[in-house]
Amino acid sequence: MNTEDLIRDSLMRQADLAPPPGPTLAALRKPRRRRMPLLIAVAVTAAALVAVAVVVDIRSVRSADPATTGAPSKRTTGTPATPVKPSVLPDRNQMAVDVPVLYEPQWLPDGFVEQEREFPLGHSLKRTWRNPADPTGIVMLLVDPEGKNSLFSVQHENSPDRVDLGANGDGAFGPASLDEAGMSWYSADGGSLLMVTVEAMPGMKEVARRIAESTTSGGTSVHASALVLAPEHVGAGDFVTRTWKGTSPTEWTIQVEVSHLSRSTQARLTPTSPDTAGGTSVRAREAGATFVPARQVNGDWTDVMLVVPVGDRFLTVAGKSFQPGGGGPRAASEITLETLTAIANTTVVVQNTDLSWFGTR
């Protein structure tokens, strides 16, 4: 069973807890840019890597307070990874949350800067560092809160290839592969399972071991909400993911995606306007806006889209509906201009959200 199968099974188990299971199935059905590798996804060239930290353990969750979101993210030099078990996991409908980052790799390959944070509510936080000179590769660190009850633990316990990670204890390499190396280890209390995967680079096993050995607890970075959707636009069976992606504090995209079996809707905040060619002028948020209908490009259908200026930024609400049985997008989307306008009118935009961590170590 590979990592994608493990993640697929874990998501299906999560979906069983909250009917209907549409969001999970939608997330699994969505086209992927690339396959999910051995323990986590990793792609690396000899010249460059990408480092991704996925953190699921949550120390606290609090309502987003714009007055407290200005502190820049900092890398700490803390002690070996000592877990803090989550007392509160963010509910799938709880959009306004701050999530402390509990684990930090203290060593990364030279030239890496942080460019992405992503987390599905109630699941995980993923952090990505890239080398701007050659951003083609990837290293990923995952913290699985299910620990010994996790499907990932099967691979960990059955691995015959083990190594001493010093203060982080016993590490286990994943299944042998020509193009990737993975390592897993338990947190100090055995409650969480951490994993790192490196792919397609010289010395993969040593890189994985070094990152694992350097990972400590005590991270202070806080991911604050910048877009807060109204509860009426997030159903009980929806799967919600927030993504922050960018190369600098002036070039970025912040997105909240709400997925279901039959449709997917996104609210995006950007410093510049997306392409609105073919759009028509409408009103939203008591301002002029542009509505862009779905159109067919290279045999596929684009999202239907509403773009609204909000201060010096742009709010884009977009979406698509899907064919029955998990097929591709439908030509006639069920997501209407009225729906997009209602979402835009009720979405809270936090203007002074901290963006200083984009492009920093």
**pLDDT tens per residue across span 184-230:** 998 877 777 888 887 767 788 998 899 899 988 766 566 667 888 88
Do 231 and 311 share a domain, yes or no?
A: yes
Q: Is residue 355 part of a domain?
A: no
Inter-CA distances, 232 with 119, 120, 122, Å: 21, 18, 19
Confidence of residue 119 (pLDDT cuts 50, 70, 90): confident
Do 55 and 133 share a domain, yes or no?
A: yes
Do 173 and 124 share a domain, yes or no?
A: yes
Nearest to 143 by CA among 216, 44, 224: 216
**Residue 281: its H or E element:** strand 280-284
Q: Is residue 18 part of a domain?
A: no
Looking at residue 89, what is its pLDDT? 37
Q: Is residue 25 part of a domain?
A: no
Do 170 and 116 share a domain, yes or no?
A: yes
Do 42 and 188 share a domain, yes or no?
A: yes
Percent of the chain predicted with pLDDT > 90: 25
Do 198 and 231 share a domain, yes or no?
A: no
Do 141 and 182 share a domain, yes or no?
A: yes
CATH number of the domain within which 273 lies? 3.40.1000
Report how far residue 239's alpha carbon sits from residue 24's, in angstroms, rounded to the nearest whole number: 6
Q: What residues make up the domain containing 235?
A: 227-349
Looking at residue 312, what is its pLDDT? 92
Confidence of residue 270 (pLDDT cuts 50, 70, 90): very high
Report how far residue 106's alpha carbon sits from residue 214's, in angstroms, rounded to the nearest whole number: 5
Looking at residue 175, what is its pLDDT? 82
Looking at residue 220, what is its pLDDT? 57
pLDDT-wise least confident of 12-21, 62-71, 204-213, 250-259: 62-71
Report how far residue 271's alpha carbon sits from residue 319's, in angstroms, rounded to the nearest whole number: 20
Most confident of 28-32, 95-99, 101-105: 101-105
| Residue 343, phi then psi, degrees to nearest 5 | -65, -45
Confidence of residue 62 (pLDDT cuts 50, 70, 90): very low
Higher-pLDDT residue of 32 and 242 is 242
Question: Is 80 exceeded by the pLDDT of residue 61?
Answer: no
Q: Is residue 22 part of a domain?
A: no
Q: Is residue 299 part of a domain?
A: yes
